[in-house]
């Protein structure tokens, strides 16, 4: 039996603070934000990805993940989110290993683009001020972001995702307690 | 669990205080209060309907390898925590029998007694309509 660990220490305040951080990350694409909440999620889940899911996922958001049974049990207990094997049915997808292709995720419809899924991608490291050049809404000139351990061909897949706008998939990049967002409106150029 | 959920916070605290020290506990889900919809069926086999909402406090506590859950009526956080702690301790094979003797059985007996008393009081005022109809 796996050892279940606690979630947020102060569920309401920590979830609100983390939500605020994710909102900030989404409104300034590519800018690194830091999750303040102290949590000890089961391996291989990192703090930022765990906080994002605890804040966002609930009983109405089917969740797909590749992080193993311990993480699935932890998220089921603390979020009550139904775990789905069908990635196209998921509202949130958590990728700790090989990232699923963006095309596999639900992109929403033209009438309801908000139904597009959010991919929470756990990567090896995030560094600002080098790497990709991001432009788009929320960015005055350009933001730089280097993603260590980004999936192969990610920028090409992202370009295809971007053309679907207003439909599409949003991505939250998590490493340790750092989080950066790639909303579907952003354009990525290799730096 | 039903016995623990029905017991009052004071009863649980008394019984817990009389126990030897339990192993260190970790709170998985701090007591939180919410509403649950109570559903009913008229006559036991009619259509389901929503009777109303009820305040419930839940808590989950890990004691060693065991996880105790409690859902208790009302808003008493301390009671939910004690019930969850006892639920976890009761899953421990070494503690189970002693706890059943020291906590659960006395509480169950007291609740049974209170219920019987209530039933006796109610029975004293019962009117048997069948008897009335056949009386001259």
- Per-residue pLDDT tens digits for A79-137: 999 999 999 999 999 999 888 888 999 999 999 999 999 999 999 999 998 999 999 99
Q: With a CB-CB cutoff of 8 Å, which residues 34-53 of chain A face chain B?
A: none
A92: nearest Cα among A113, A122, A117? A117
CB contact under 8 A, B30 and A77: no
Among all chains, which residue has been given the structure tokens 């989110």? A81
* Whole-number Å distance between alpha carbons of A125 and A180: 11
For helices A47-56 and A69-79, angle between their N-to-C axes, nearest 10 degrees: 40
| Residues of chain A with C-beta less than 8 angstroms from the C-beta of B34 | none
Which secondary structure element, helix H or strand E, spans residue A66, and what is its range? none
Mutate which of B24, B26, B29 to disrupt the A interface (most A C-beta within 10 Å)? B29
In this prediction, residue B131 carries a pLDDT of 63
Is this prediction's ipTM beyond 0.90?
no
A55: nearest Cα among A70, A28, A72, A35? A35
Answer whether A59 touches B (CB < 8 Å): no
In this prediction, residue A118 carries a pLDDT of 94
CB contact under 8 A, B30 and A11: yes
A1 pLDDT tier (thresholds 50, 70, 90): very low
- Per-residue pLDDT tens digits for A25-79: 999 999 999 999 889 899 889 999 999 999 999 999 999 999 889 999 999 999 9
* Whole-number Å distance between alpha carbons of B30 and B49: 31
Answer whether A80 touches B (CB < 8 Å): no
The minimum CA-CA distance between A167 and chain B, rounded to whole Å, is 36
In this prediction, residue B43 carries a pLDDT of 80
Answer whether B29 touches A (CB < 8 Å): yes
CB contact under 8 A, B60 and A77: yes
| Residues of chain B with C-beta less than 8 angstroms from the C-beta of A14 | none
What average pLDDT does chain A have? Answer: 92
In this prediction, residue A178 carries a pLDDT of 94
In this prediction, residue B98 carries a pLDDT of 86
The minimum CA-CA distance between B134 and chain A, rounded to whole Å, is 59
Answer whether B60 touches A (CB < 8 Å): yes
* Whole-number Å distance between alpha carbons of B65 and A136: 50
CB contact under 8 A, B67 and A4: yes
pLDDT by 10s per residue, chain B, length 136 = 788 888 888 888 888 888 877 778 888 888 999 999 999 888 878 888 999 999 999 999 998 888 999 999 999 999 999 999 999 999 988 888 888 888 899 899 999 999 999 999 999 888 777 766 665 5
CB contact under 8 A, A4 and B62: yes
Q: How are beta strands B48-63 and B25-41 bridged, if at all?
A: antiparallel
Structure tokens at A50: 């765990």
Burial class of residue A166 (count of CB atoms within 10 Å of its CB; 0-12, 13-18, 19+): middle
* Close Cβ partners of A34 (under 8 Å, ≥ 6 residues apart): A21, A177, A178, A179
- Residue A152 confidence (pLDDT) above 90: no
In this prediction, residue A2 carries a pLDDT of 59
Answer whether B67 touches A (CB < 8 Å): yes
In this prediction, residue B22 carries a pLDDT of 75
Query: Does the bond joining A166 to the residue before it have cis omega, within 30 degrees of 0?
Result: yes
């Amino acid at each position: 039996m796996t050892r279940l660990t606690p979630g947020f220490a102060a569920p309401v305040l920590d979830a609100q603070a983390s939500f605020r951080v994710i909102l900030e990350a989404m409104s300034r694409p590519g800018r690194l934000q830091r999750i303040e909440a102290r949590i000890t999620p089961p391996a291989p889940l990192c703090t930022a990805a765990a906080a994002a899911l605890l804040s966002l996922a609930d009983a109405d958001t089917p969740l797909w993940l590749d992080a193993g049974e311990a993480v699935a049990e932890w998220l089921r207990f603390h979020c009550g989110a139904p775990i789905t094997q069908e990635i196209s049915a998921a509202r949130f997808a958590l990728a700790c290993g090989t990232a699923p292709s963006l095309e596999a995720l639900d992109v929403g419809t033209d009438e309801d683009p908000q139904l597009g899924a959010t991919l929470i991608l756990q990567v090896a490291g995030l560094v600002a001020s080098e790497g990709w050049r991001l432009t788009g809404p929320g960015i005055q000139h350009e933001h730089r972001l280097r993603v260590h351990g980004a999936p192969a061909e990610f920028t090409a897949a992202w370009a295809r995702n971007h053309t679907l706008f207003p439909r599409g998939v949003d991505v939250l990049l998590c490493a340790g307690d750092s989080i950066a967002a790639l909303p579907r409106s952003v354009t990525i150029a290799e730096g | 669990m039903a016995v623990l959920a029905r017991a009052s916070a004071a009863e649980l605290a008394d019984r817990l205080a009389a126990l030897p020290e339990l192993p260190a506990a970790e709170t998985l889900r701090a007591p939180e209060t919410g509403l649950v919809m109570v559903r009913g069926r008229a006559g036991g086999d009619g259509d389901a309907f929503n009777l109303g909402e009820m305040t419930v406090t839940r808590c989950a506590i890990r004691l060693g390898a065991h996880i105790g859950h409690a859902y208790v009526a009302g808003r008493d956080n301390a009671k939910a925590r004690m019930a969850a702690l006892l639920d976890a301790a009761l899953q421990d094979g070494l503690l189970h029998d002693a706890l059943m003797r020291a906590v659960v059985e006395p509480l169950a007996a007291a609740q049974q007694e209170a219920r019987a008393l209530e039933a006796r009081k109610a029975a004293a005022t019962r009117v048997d309509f069948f008897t009335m109809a056949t009386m001259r």
